[in-house]
Amino acid sequence: MKKFQVVIIGGGPAGAAAALYFKEANVTVALVDKAIFPRDKSCGDGIPLKTFRLLEELGFKEEELFKGGFRISGMSVYAPDGTPAHFGKASVDSATKSGCIPRKYFDNLLFQKAKHKADAVFEGYKLERMTKITSGWLLKLKDIKQGKITEIETELLIGADGAGSFTARKSGLFPVDERHSFEGLRLYYAGKTFRNRVEIFYDKRILPGYVWVFPVAENRANVGIMAPRRNSRKNKTGLRQVFDTVLQTNPDVKEALSGAEPDSSVRGAMLPLGNAPGKRTADHLILIGDAAAFINPLTGGGIYFALQSAKAAARIGAKALQKGRCTEDDLSEYERWYKDVLSPGFYYADWFKRRFASDQFTNRFIKSASRFKPAATFFMMIYGRPLPKRVFWNPLFWIKIFLR
């Protein structure tokens, strides 16, 4: 039976990045994913500047990333009453490092790099069973195509298997809770020239969720919807029906898509949000990325937190392996890390999201952001950054808001 210091379940951005970070620490790594890459994933495809900095740290070049994507210079946000607020620059330049990259290309780029570095890769293998043993975990893997069963052991298991994570569920760490979940749908539109801007549309029928148009090429855009899971039950209307209605009747969305037509099927996903309760570590186990519900409660973005958590898990996990102990106590630094570094930002984003459930508040705030720079800066600080603890009590935060 093969044994590895670390086995990572899930080869998406979190899992692939974790494999690369662990290999930097000279740890033996096996990477497992039930898919054969390249594979698609339902997502908005947005990659913000802060994520590019982490990608460059992992050795990815800017031109390599944008080969399959589109540079974005700004963002436009539309209130339910149609008031727009515009952020960023009018056009791209040499300093533009944020963009939209289809996940089929982006995830494969990371996976192939991790595949080259890892000690073993089980591509097209599904985790069938995980059994706790004294030294770690015994894992039963099944080849999806051939049905072949393989068993491997690991001292440290990294759950990077996304929303609805098998590792999180079977370990009992992270129960699914629709009160702390969004659901999303997306498809692609093509046939017109899109601007170098992402567009977000708040419609009173889906608040505090929104519809987005994210260009992934000059003539193609990712178009999607994100809304609280409870909305569908409350309104007794499926998200797909609501999505179609908004696409057909919201004047700002119709204008943004005028001249374009759908060129893909609709895909959906669940989004467990970062304010969800639960632990992210157990004996010989760490959850990262979407599997740990590290998703911004306001925006639904998770790529940055996937890479951040992969880096932290590798740093803390490698240290525990070096000591020869991977108990929950030995991994407790990871719990402290996400509570200190990630949770405050999730808390503030959730606070803002709850206010965006009101169309009156949303209209007033976006109108204010369209006219007054401090309001616009405040919105972007909440929207795009993981804010630290007690930031609202820090005078420097407000100085940045009013003087930036």
Q: What is the CATH number of the domain that holds 282?
A: 3.50.50.60
Q: Residue 194 falls within a domain, yes or no?
A: yes
Residue 98 has pLDDT above 60, yes or no: yes
Q: Which domain holds residue 194?
A: 69-102+181-272
Is the same domain home to 210 and 81? yes
Q: Residue 301 falls within a domain, yes or no?
A: yes
Q: Residue 340 falls within a domain, yes or no?
A: yes
Q: Residue 353 falls within a domain, yes or no?
A: no
Helices 395-403 and 373-384 meet at what angle, rounded to 10?
Answer: 120
Is the same domain home to 80 and 148? no
Residue 282 has pLDDT above 70, yes or no: yes
Is the same domain home to 49 and 133? yes
Question: Considering only 58-62, 89-93, 257-261, which range has the smallest mean pLDDT?
Answer: 89-93
The whole-number pLDDT of residue 175 equals 67
**β-sheet bridge partners, residue 84:** 78
Residue 288 has pLDDT above 90, yes or no: yes
Rounded to the nearest 5 percent, the helix, strand and coil shares of the chain are 40, 25, 35
At residue 149, φ and ψ (nearest 5 deg) are -100, 130
Q: Residue 366 falls within a domain, yes or no?
A: no
Please state the rounded mean pLDDT for residues 249-272.
94
Residue 174 has pLDDT above 80, yes or no: no
Which whole-number Å values give the CA distances from 303 to 20, 139, 289, 403, in the listed order? Answer: 16, 27, 8, 30
CATH code of 257's domain: 3.30.9.10
Is the same domain home to 115 and 47? yes
Is the same domain home to 164 and 29? yes
Q: What is the DSSP letter of 264?
A: S
Instruction: For residue 274, name the pLDDT band (cuts at 50, 70, 90).
Output: confident
Domain boundary among 272, 296, 326: 272
Q: How many CB atoms lie within 10 A of CB 261?
A: 9
Cα atoms found within 13 Å of the Cα of residue 139, Cβ hemisphere only? 33
Q: Which residue has the tokens 């599997």?
A: 291
**β-sheet bridge partners, residue 47:** 99
The whole-number pLDDT of residue 356 equals 93
Is the same domain home to 116 and 245? no
The whole-number pLDDT of residue 94 equals 47
At residue 122, φ and ψ (nearest 5 deg) are -110, 85
Q: How many CB atoms lie within 10 A of CB 259?
A: 10
Residue 237 has pLDDT above 80, yes or no: no
Domain boundary among 272, 305, 336: 272
Instruction: For residue 380, name the pLDDT band (cuts at 50, 70, 90).
Output: confident
Return the percentage of the chain with pLDDT > 90, whole number: 70
263 conformational bin, left if phi > 0, alpha if psi -120 to 50, beta if neither: alpha
The whole-number pLDDT of residue 97 equals 65
Q: Residue 375 falls within a domain, yes or no?
A: no
Residue 31 has pLDDT above 90, yes or no: yes
Give the chain's domain count. 2
The per-residue pLDDT of the chain, averaged, comes to: 90
Question: Considering only 80-94, 259-273, 281-295, 345-359, which range has the smallest mean pLDDT?
Answer: 80-94
CB-based contact 9:159 (threshold 8 Å): yes
Is the same domain home to 76 and 218? yes
Q: Residue 48 falls within a domain, yes or no?
A: yes
Tokens of 61: 């070049």
Question: Considering only 72-76, 114-118, 252-256, 375-379, which range has the smallest mean pLDDT?
Answer: 375-379
Listed residue (14, 13, 382, 42) closest to 212, CA to CA: 42
Q: How many CB atoms lie within 10 A of CB 293?
A: 28
> Where does residue 67 rank: exposed (0-12), middle (13-18), buried (19+ CB within 10 A)?
exposed
Name the more confident of 396 and 166. 166
Listed residue (298, 394, 291, 290) closest to 350, CA to CA: 298
pLDDT digits (tens, 9 = 90+) for 70-87: 999 889 999 999 999 998
Is the same domain home to 33 and 74? no
The whole-number pLDDT of residue 125 equals 97
**β-sheet bridge partners, residue 281:** 286
Residue 375 has pLDDT above 70, yes or no: yes
Residue 183 has pLDDT above 60, yes or no: yes
Tokens of 213: 């148009």
Is the same domain home to 44 and 77? no
Q: Any idea of the CA torsion for 372, 378, 383, 388, to the nearest 10 degrees?
A: 170
Q: Residue 363 falls within a domain, yes or no?
A: no
Return the percentage of the chain with pLDDT > 70, whole number: 94
Question: Considering only 9-23, 55-69, 247-261, which range has the smallest mean pLDDT?
Answer: 55-69
Q: How many CB atoms lie within 10 A of CB 323?
A: 9
Is the same domain home to 54 and 162? yes
pLDDT digits (tens, 9 = 90+) for 127-154: 999 999 999 999 999 999 999 999 999 9
Instruction: Write out the DSSP string of 16-74.
Output: HHHHHHHHHTT--EEEEESSPSS----S--EE-HHHHHHHHHTT--HHHHHTTSEE--E
Domain boundary among 238, 272, 306: 272
Listed residue (303, 299, 200) closest to 256, CA to CA: 200
Cα–Cα distance, 191 to 193 (Å, whole number)? 7
Q: pTM of the entire structure?
A: 0.93
The whole-number pLDDT of residue 379 equals 81
Residue 300 has pLDDT above 50, yes or no: yes
Residues contacting 258, CB < 8 A, separation 6+: 192
Name the more confident of 1 and 282. 282
CB-based contact 162:290 (threshold 8 Å): yes
Amino acid in position 41:
K
Listed residue (227, 194, 229) closest to 213, CA to CA: 194
Is the same domain home to 135 and 281? yes
Residue 96 has pLDDT above 70, yes or no: no
Is the same domain home to 254 and 189? yes
